[in-house]
Amino acid sequence: MIAFIDDHRGAYGVEPICRVLPIAPSSYHEHVAQRRDPTRLSLRAQRDMALKPEIARVFAENFEVYGVRKVWRQMKREGFDIARCTVERLMKEMGLGIQIERIKPGHPQQNGRHERMHLTLKKEATRPPGMNSLQQQATFDGFIREFNFERPHEALNMKCPAEVYTPASREYQGLPELHYPFHDRPVLVTACGRICIYRKKINISTALAGQTLGIKEVDDGIWLVSFMEYDLGYIDLEQRTLQPIDNPFGPGVSPMS
């Protein structure tokens, strides 16, 4: 509404436009004054102005794939005193977030390139399958070499993927050092995929060997286990078992959904 008045005030004037729109001329003039002098903004608005560039920075530095929760937790790790609802509100105002695109059920043609790639892979690398894992891996390696370096692609103007590929300008540095400020303490997963709590060994997963998890006691003898921003499940110390949470890595709610 303010932008509309800005665009048309020269032709029609502020007061005639405000008589049509649900805004008083004094409110518009106050908005203009605040833009010229940010100190006239409320303390909340001034803080929002300072936080928006930081939120945009965190979003951009993480390849624009972070939703509200991940942005919020990253900012907390960096020392910002900010509420999750504030991050959600500001990300929504700035149009930041994750957009999930889905095809209609039973319409694989809407994802034709992806489906075609899998069809080609199955035809050329799995039919017939290798006699053992080594032979099958050699077949996959040959397919990758031919697909990327020898076979021209119509979608690439009959060029090979290796001819048009350019590496990312930013080098992947691996996982940052993990901190869990909202948990009781961190624990390290052993090479055999276990953690030790009060001299009790609990199996987690060898996939997380060497990684740091966060644990938090939520009830007597019941501990919540988290990895990065994901809650993996609950440990019962009496049973020495981990009860996993259904699909902890599933898509969450984002401000753009």
pTM of the predicted model as reported, rounded to 2 decimal places: 0.45
Same domain, 52 and 20: yes
Q: How far apart are the first and last CA of the chain?
A: 24
Position 252 scores a pLDDT of: 44
Tell me, yes or no, whether 175 lies in a domain: no
Position 136 scores a pLDDT of: 95
Same domain, 68 and 21: yes
**Chain-centre distance of CA 102, in angstroms?**
17
Same domain, 126 and 198: no
Position 194 scores a pLDDT of: 93
Of the residues 62, 94, 126, which one is the last residue of a structural domain? 94
Could you tell me the mean pLDDT of each successive run of 10 residues in the chain, 257 residues long? 86 88 86 85 91 94 88 92 92 84 83 86 91 94 94 91 88 78 92 90 90 92 90 89 71 40
Give CB contacts under 8 A, 24+ apart, made by 198-201. 198/237, 200/237, 200/240, 201/240
Same domain, 156 and 221: no
Parent domain of 65 = 2-94
Same domain, 89 and 8: yes
Position 102 scores a pLDDT of: 79
Tell me, yes or no, whether 20 lies in a domain: yes
User: What domain count does the chain have?
Assistant: 3
Q: How far apart are CA 75 and CA 52, in angstroms?
A: 12
